[in-house]
Amino acid sequence: MSAQPARRFFLTGLLLLPSLWMTSAQAQLQVSPEMYERISSAASASYAYYPADTARHDELLRHIDAWADARIGLNNAREFKGGSPQRSTWVIERAVNTPLFPAGEPGRGLSPEQPFRIKYVKKAAGRSFVKSIRMPVSRRMDEEQVIKTGRHFIEAAGFVVTSEADRIGEPMVIARLLDVLQPGSTKPKTLVVLQRAIFSRSLDGLEVFNSRQIVDVHPETGEILAWKGLDWAPAQESGRKAVKALPAEQLLDAIKNAYRDTASTYHVTAVNEGMYQSAEMIFPVLAVTVERQADKSGQRAPKRTLYIPLTEIGGS
Amino acid sequence: MTQIQRFNFVARKLWLTLLLALIAMLAGCRDTRIHVSPEQPQQGDMLWIVVDNEENDEVDYVTVTYADQTKIGYGMPAYFTLDTCKDTQPYLTRLEIDAVTTYVDGATGSEDREVDLTRGAASTEDEDLDYAVYLAGTSHDDLRDDSIDMAEAFMDEFDAYSNSQYLTAEPRFFTRQSDTYANSADLVIAWGHGNHHTINPAGETIDLSTTGYGNFRPCGGSGDAEYMVFFSCLTLSLRDDDGNGWRYYWVNRIATQSDLRPFSGLHMALGFRSEVRTRWIFGTDGADLFEEFAANLDSGDRVVDAWQEAVGDELSFLFGDNRGTVMYLQVYEDDTIFSVTDDYILGNIDYHLVADYWE
């Protein structure tokens, strides 16, 4: 989720705060004892929030932009301006692939038969660098190797600022696959387009839900096909503020308030504490997943995870 | 043989040779031609076959054979028609037309022509590049407002096409009035609840396997839809269902060739093979998804990548949710939103379906 300007955050916070004290008779929201217990447990803890270190973040982004410029020459690339004023995209076409390996080491990379594009995007959420080489293969790389490659790349490139409290968290590996059925064949074949390592972020032991570092790896050559750093501004640890959580009933009211105008029945199915990064702050939130009760149609409704601020920002 | 006899023999031979040469020359001028209208026909067209000749006055009749029918035309040009719509006719993929012209002097001439009916030329479609947006209905109070936010995020960002429709979805948009709605735009985006090959945008479930989009629908027309996006759970599921593999519901095969299927010229279906979960704090990450999707399309990404990258960047993969999926005919794999390509149906070598999906 993209970072938001501070003004919008605080206005939204002001709107949200009164709602915490509203009771809702119309909301058909069901909270099981187990989920209530999770909310209560979160409400009994203390947390901290941090300002985002915008100066260090700007420096980091300049470093990343210079890295990208060295690789594709942004002045020679075609620029696209997006609808959002904070978004710019550069695209360049290449006939020959210079493979990208974690620490810049040489290695055998892919040799596409056709020219391919390299895209670099600057947006409010962060940066992304993508080589649109699509050469699926039948083999997979070991997931541990994908993680190792991705982590090595991020650290060697200096794309993340970490500390004892603010670290790269648990990774997830997911593959992008093709299901191909050749004419005349009855058995589909699965090919691997890429394997993606998604690195989460841990701050004070809590996951920052919207911060992520993404590295796409080709399963055969192990070269980097893409890197993305999204919603990951360093925390200004000197500005750390310890705060107590809001009372459980206020958190519950905030959840119910989100469903006060609905006619259907919803259930809370998961509750997790974590943090969320906006443009200016990294603050504790309660992630509450809500699902609509199934009806007779057999159709599934999208689920929703609400991020409810766990504390008042600016309070103690 | 006397000299006179020899002379008469040679003269007769010469005369015969000249006569044969004259007949041959005249036969060469008797050129039968076969025209078809439309010039690039496709299955579904009401096809006109016109047989013509350079020497129409010398033609007695013409015998034309096509689609297991034999017809005779007197007078030239001779006109024949054939309804190639699979709804009422056998499934035709190719048409071999043979014309034998019989002239008044008994000579005959023949011509044949073969027509491929499985390729729908892009040139026959509407030249406008446009997209339609169909919001979730108010009965889906969980999704209605989010679908508006997502649609507006897309529309604010997307420049490549113009917006032709911004409506609350109704089942008829996908079924009996698809010509006016879902099949009238190049790109269609719809929101709803969903399940395997179905979507429920406003309270009524649409079985997409009984619908058809693309150049070959309606019969005799040229539907526009190339890309259809379904923001709904499980609609692009890759599991078997009811004993059938997933492809059964999306493309025709020999056994189902006379039935409707979504890929009746359609290039891609984009959506999710799993349940969908959005996150909300200052807005929905679904809006970020659609903004990213639009930006990716505008900057010339492959359409497959534009969707899959946007899903991978903006939505969470936790709990097995948000597994973005794109079903497409493999011939369109490298297409961008700016590509101009023909449409295909069963019988064409390029009609085979691939799925690109997050694991």
pLDDT in tens, B107-165: 999 999 999 999 999 988 888 999 999 999 998 988 999 999 999 999 999 999 999 99
Residue B100 and residue B59 in contact, taking contact as beta carbons nearer than 8 Å: no
- pLDDT tens by residue, A51-101: 999 999 999 999 999 999 999 999 999 998 877 788 999 999 999 999 998
* Position B214 pLDDT exceeds 50: yes
A94 CA to chain B: closest CA distance, Å? 15
- Name, in order, each residue with C-beta under 8 angstroms of B51's C-beta and a sequence gap of 6 or more: B32, B33, B34, B35, B62, B64, B73, B76, B77, B78, B80, B99, B101, B111
Chain A's closest residue to B306, CA to CA, is A132
| CA-to-CA separations, B73 to B65, B78, B83, B185, in angstroms, rounded | 11, 5, 18, 42
Read off the pLDDT of each residue in B23-27 and give the average, rounded to a whole number: 56
Would you say B159 and B131 are in contact if contact means Cβ atoms under 8 Å apart? no
Reported as a single tens digit per residue, the pLDDT across B72-101 is 999 889 999 999 999 988 999 999 999 999
Q: Cα dist. A89→A76, A316, B38 in Å?
A: 13, 42, 43
Cβ atoms A237, A223 nearer than 8 A? no
pTM of the entire predicted model: 0.91
- Of the candidates A171, A213, A172, A222, the residue with the CA atom closest to the CA atom of residue A194: A222
pLDDT of A275 strictly over 80: yes
Which among A120, A101, A234, A111 has a CA at the least distance from the CA of A168? A234
**For residue B143, which residues of chain A lie inside 8 Å, CB to CB?**
301-302
Task: State residue B28's pLDDT score.
Answer: 53
Torsions phi, psi of A237, nearest 5? -65, -25
Residue of B nearest to A114 (CA): B334
**Contact status of B320 with chain A (Cβ, < 8 Å):** no
Q: Give residue B25's Cα distance to chain centre.
A: 45
User: How many Å lie between the alpha carbon of A67 and the closest alpha carbon of chain B?
Assistant: 21
User: Which pLDDT does position A3 carry in this prediction?
Assistant: 44
Rounded to whole angstroms, the Cα distance separating B175 from B293 reads 27
Residue of B nearest to A91 (CA): B299
Selected residues 84-103 of chain A with any CB under 8 Å from a CB in chain B: 84, 87, 89, 91
Check if B200 contacts A (Cβ < 8 Å). yes
Please report residues of A whose CB lies closer than 8 A to that of B198. 299
Between chain A and chain B, how many beta carbons pairs sit less than 8 Å apart? 166
- Residue B243 scores a pLDDT above 70: yes
Query: CA of B218, closest CA in chain A: separation in Å?
Result: 27
Tokens 């009811």, located at residue: B242
Q: Cβ contact (<8 Å) for B281 and A298?
A: no
Task: Give the residue from B163, B56, B119 showing the smallest Cα distance to B265.
Answer: B119
- To test the contact with chain A by mutation, choose from B163, B230, B252, B313 the residue with the greatest count of A C-beta atoms within 10 A, namely B313
Query: What pLDDT, in 10s, does the model give residues A166-209?
Result: 999 999 999 999 999 987 888 999 999 999 999 999 999 999 99
Q: Which of A196, A264, A301 sits opposite B312 (nearest CB)?
A: A196
Query: Which among B198, B313, B314 has CB closest to A299?
Result: B198
Tell me the ipTM for this assembly: 0.90
pLDDT category, A6, cuts 50, 70, 90?
A: very low
Question: Is the Cβ–Cβ distance between A199 and A154 less than 8 Å?
Answer: yes
- Give the dihedral of Cα atoms A141, A144, A150, A152; nearest 10 deg: -120
Residue A125 pLDDT level (bands cut at 50, 70, 90) = confident
pLDDT at A253: 92
- The residue of chain A with its CA nearest to that of B206 is A299
Cis status, amide bond into B38, omega within 30 of 0? yes
Question: What distance, in Å, lies between the first and last C-alpha atoms of chain B?
Answer: 97
Q: Do A2 and B300 touch (CB under 8 A)?
A: no
Burial zone of B324 (CB within 10 Å; 0-12 exposed, 13-18 middle, 19+ buried): buried
